[in-house]
Homo-oligomer: A and B are copies of this chain.
Amino acid sequence: MALRVVGALRDDIVTMTLRPGDVISESDIAGRYGVSRQPVREAFIRLAQQGLLMIRPKRATVVKKISPEGVRQSRFIRESIEVEIIRRLAGHPGADAGAVLGELIVEQEAASNANDSRRFHTLDELFHRTLARLIGVEYAWQLIDDHKMQLDRVRYLTLGSSSSKLAISEHKTIVAAVTAGDVAGAEAAMRAHLARAEVLLSQTIAAHPDYFE
């Protein structure tokens, strides 16, 4: 049941129901979920290790503000790994890689046309995860996923401004380069695709400066 608290709190944080800077306490959350303080405490520890909370001994626990530097370095990590993935994939593209990825893009177009940004986000994530799976490093994506929570908070603030058409176009470019075995082209396309998150961050900082440190 402590895990339930973890999930609930994490959702509240990434959906900005609990906003950066908000102060919470073990007793507070315990009463809100009808459990004891102990499971809440353990949930706090888990979330603090994931960088979502900041436990201040003897004082209080606050929802961590988003660190622009941290987001920047998370982006660096993601770009490093995804570039390596795409290079290896373009170097040895499996037989069914093009088909599997193409199928995903079709679904993304459907979601985009239906203006279902939530589903598009899920499919976008699945696209990148599939790239990792195709070369047998799905665990690596799991790592990215952990560090992506910070960026997801940013993304949630700018929902609706989803330029899904552009993203789909970039996905197509990537897949084309992969199936053609064009390593350098695939790498460049991936870097361009990921670079768009940079402007997203700048815009969000300007729009919500109090959520950042």
Contact = CB atoms under 8 A, between A and B. Distances in A.
Copy count, this protein chain: 2
Contacts of A137: 73, 76
A76 B140 contact: yes
Interface stretch (A15-23, A80-88, A99-107, A163-171): A80-88
Given A46-B49, A49-B49, A139 B84 contact: no
Contacts of A41: 42
Interface centre among A49, A77, A80, by most chain B C-beta atoms within 10 angstroms, is: A80
A79 interface: yes
Contacts of A143: 77, 143, 147
Q: Which range contains the number of A residues in contact with the other chain?
A: 20 to 34
A83 B81 CA distance: 10
28 contacts: A38-B38, A41-B42, A42-B42, A45-B45, A45-B46, A46-B49, A49-B49, A69-B139, A70-B139, A73-B137, A73-B139, A73-B140, A76-B84, A76-B137, A76-B140, A77-B81, A77-B143, A80-B80, A80-B81, A80-B83, A80-B84, A80-B85, A80-B140, A81-B81, A83-B84, A84-B84, A143-B143, A143-B147
